Amino acid sequence: MSSPSTPGAGTSRAGPAADVGRWFSTAAPRPAGASAPTSARGPRLPAWGPMVGAEYGRRSPASEVTAALELLRDRPVAVLTGAGMSTGSGLPDYRGRDAVPRSPMTYQEFMGHDLARRRYWARSTVGWEQFGRARPGRAHRLLAALDPAAFPVTAVITQNVDALHAAAGSDPVIDLHGRLDRVRCQQCDALSSRAALHARLLMMNPELAARLPQLAADAAQAPDGDAEVDRTSSFRYPPCALCGGILKPDVVFFGESARRETVSAAFAALAAAEALLVLGSSLTVQSGLRFVRAAGRAGQDVVILNDGPTRADPAATLRLHGRLEDVLASWADATGAVAAR
């Protein structure tokens, strides 16, 4: 792919998409037995990886799947999605059965350490063209088709940063944690294209550019922290062209808050709904969990569908287990929704 652009553009996909979680791993391997990092706000950050003792692979009976559809049918619904939504597109999740354990990079680490920024931009430069091959999966397409055949969707509030909901046709989409196809200056707040930055990074790092396929293969196969690209401490990255500030992907890092206007839009979409449907999220972090709690306070029904436990299971009106594609397909069949399969 010679000119990566907004993820989801195009019609074909070659090979697995990049493991975006690697880009956000902590800048230096942590010694054995060392504690997890803390953000400036205090709480200890959870490591990514499968949840200990969790039951994966469970499937809800057809009667429960049908009951959930009847609960939501013909009512305005806000939809909250997580990483499990995009596994069918080749993007790995962070706490599912097959998640790779690693410790997340914090906003404070990225902003405070040049080495962390070098490591991030080196990793993402190697993986970006792969990431650009990701296409909406069946779950994305089915969800878009269910609105309004099964229920009108006030908004898809997604914790993902891949822009695949919009590419599948969902509208409106609220990117709670931002989008990887954009870059934001941390000083003047200017937005720019990640694709344009990618071209510039390759020009600034010709040795890496010449070895891009080899490094991409190495990064895909090596254990976390062992890929050769992780040792590229000489990697160069540019400042903001307008003010000289630090450029950062327009996504929310651990220890950083989502943009206020984005959160307000998400809560407005929830307020306009009668129910909340959660798809593919463990709700481990407060960023997503707060919407379930807000729905509960408002007396709204909450339906959660996820493979593996979620932090909000006790708060669910109905809790479904299974593959997103299977449940959404059964709802599409029951309501006559049509989606490209």
Residues with a catalytic annotation lie at 177
Report the C-alpha gap between 225 and 287 in whole angstroms.
Answer: 27
Give the Å distances, CA to CA, from 285 to 47, 65, 320: 11, 26, 20
Question: What is the 3-class SS of 239-271, one letter each residue?
Answer: CCCCCCCCEEEEECCECCCCCHHHHHHHHHHHH
Report the C-alpha gap between 84 and 92 in whole angstroms.
Answer: 8
Closest CA to 295 of 147, 75, 87, 66: 75
CB-facing half-sphere around the CA of 81: CA atoms within 13 A: 28
Report the C-alpha gap between 72 and 300 in whole angstroms.
Answer: 11
